[in-house]
Amino acid sequence: MTIFDELRRYDGFDFPGFLAGVTDAHVARALQKERLTPQDYLALLSPAAARHLEPMAQKARDLTIRHFGRAMVLFTPLYLANHCTNQCVYCGFNTKNRIERRKLTLEEVEAEALAIAATGLKHILILTGEDRKQTPPAYMADCIRVLKRYFTSIAIEVYPLTQEEYALLIEAGADGMTMFQEVYDETVYAELHPKGPKRDYRFRLEAPDRAGRAGMRQLNIGALLGLNSWRTEAFFTGLHADWLQRAYPDAEVAVSPPRMRPHAGGFPPREIVSDAELVQYILAFRLFMPRGGVTLSTRERPGLRDNLLGLGVTRMSAGVCTQVGGRASGQHATGQFEISDPRSVDEMAQALYQRGYQPVYKDWQYL
């Protein structure tokens, strides 16, 4: 059985009916519990639960501090390439967008690595678009081998790979993977991915599973909020995370709750997810999976990020640049999306200290 079969069990489930039927009493019961069922989690994502944000926040903060401490792991993304063969309607790297396409040479990777290493960070996330010809797994492996000299943890956010390909990258030195399913609703997924290999819903959905089987240490997943009803997407993301944690108990499982940002494609979000709704999602997830990681990107603005950090977030990106080669070469190519929090690693660290949190630059040692 895979997550695909697990999600099938909810085919035909009346989500609007369930969400509308949630009462204050159900929310209160879920808040009392130590272990939440999927139904409890869904109840906490309901409109009724929005009236209970404060008690949810108190409990979520308490759980997060007990399990993760007053500490925030920092990392930064490094875009290796922006070549892409897909036409995701919401993305700036969409193959039909006329932007300058680049891919870093190994020398450029090293130059970027030096610039990032100078900030003190030891965790890095490498990204590419989806183009197997331009950026094959072997190219990624080469990049990872260069980066290994500077970083103790290297995660990948690339197109879905086979189990053997994940094993190859682990062998090269990768220890984490991020895969955004974008949308769990299969019909909506088909509409938003009109052309290209990304149309294969199931191959993408099962990618974290293949990575887990290959021995990947960290599995990070997420839905892109704004593409569909956030409540059901958040529910499926949580179910997926829970499923992965059960299937791969020795992996660290985390979710990301990114909201859509402006980009070169200009596709407007179908649903605007408010700050309060984003908070509700993070809190509900924390109560559902007390030990699950929550990664927050610089898509969110500084003030909001600072306020969110006490509510369940365990990892944040900092010193972000979404342009290929943007750090070392000073290039101003179009990024994948616009970031909202341009703070440097130092500035982020100071903000964390001010709120009583310790910035953690290194939380894994490559073995």
Partner 1 sequence: MADQLVIGGVALESRLFLGSGKYSSNAIIPAIVEASGAQVITVAVRRVDPGAGSENILSHIPRSCRLMPNTSGARNAQEAVRIARLARAAGCGDWIKIEVISDNRHLLPDNQETIEATRILAAEGFIVLPYMSPDLMAAKRMAEAGAAAVMPLGAPIGTNRGFRTRELVAIMIDELDVPVIVDAGIGKPSEACECMELGAAAVLANTAIATAADPVGMARAFAQAVAAGRAAWLAGPGAVSEQARASSPLTGFLHE
Q: Which residues bind ligand SF4 (CB under 6 A)?
A: 84, 86, 88, 91, 93-94, 129-130, 198
Least separation in angstroms between residue 272's CB and ligand SF4 is 20
357: amino acid identity, one letter: Y
Contacting range for partner 1; rule: CB under 8 A; set: 90-98, 189-197, 243-251, 313-321 = 243-251
Least separation in angstroms between residue 64's CB and partner 1 is 10
175: amino acid identity, one letter: D
Structure tokens at 254: 């985390």
Least separation in angstroms between residue 99's CB and ligand SF4 is 11
Contacting range for partner 1; rule: CB under 8 A; set: 103-111, 300-308, 315-323, 359-367 = 359-367
Q: Which is nearer to partner 1, 58 or 105 (CB)?
A: 58
Q: Does 213 interact with partner 1 (rule: CB under 8 A)?
A: no
Least separation in angstroms between residue 126's CB and ligand SF4 is 14
Least separation in angstroms between residue 91's CB and ligand SF4 is 3
63: left (phi over 0), alpha (psi -120 to 50) or beta: alpha
Q: Does 203 interact with partner 1 (rule: CB under 8 A)?
A: no
Query: Residue 40 contacts by C-beta under 8 Å, 6 or more apart in sequence?
Result: 26, 29, 30, 33, 288
88 binding partner (options ligand SF4, partner 1, none; Cβ < 5 to 8 Å by kind): ligand SF4
Give CA–CA dist 310/38, Å, rounded.
24
Give CA–CA dist 182/29, Å, rounded.
31
84 binding partner (options ligand SF4, partner 1, none; Cβ < 5 to 8 Å by kind): ligand SF4
303 binding partner (options partner 1, ligand SF4, none; Cβ < 5 to 8 Å by kind): none
Output the CA–CA distances (angstroms, integers) from residue 323 to 59, 128, 298, 315, in the order listed: 38, 11, 14, 21
109 binding partner (options partner 1, ligand SF4, none; Cβ < 5 to 8 Å by kind): none
Instruction: Residue 225: name the closest of 233, 216, 217 by CA.
Output: 233
Residue pair 271/294 in contact (Cβ under 8 Å)? The answer is no
Q: Dihedral sign, CA of 43, 47, 51, 54?
A: positive
Q: Which spans of this chain sit near partner 1 (rule: CB under 8 A)? A: 65-71, 120, 122, 152, 217, 245-246, 249-253, 291, 349, 353, 356-365, 367
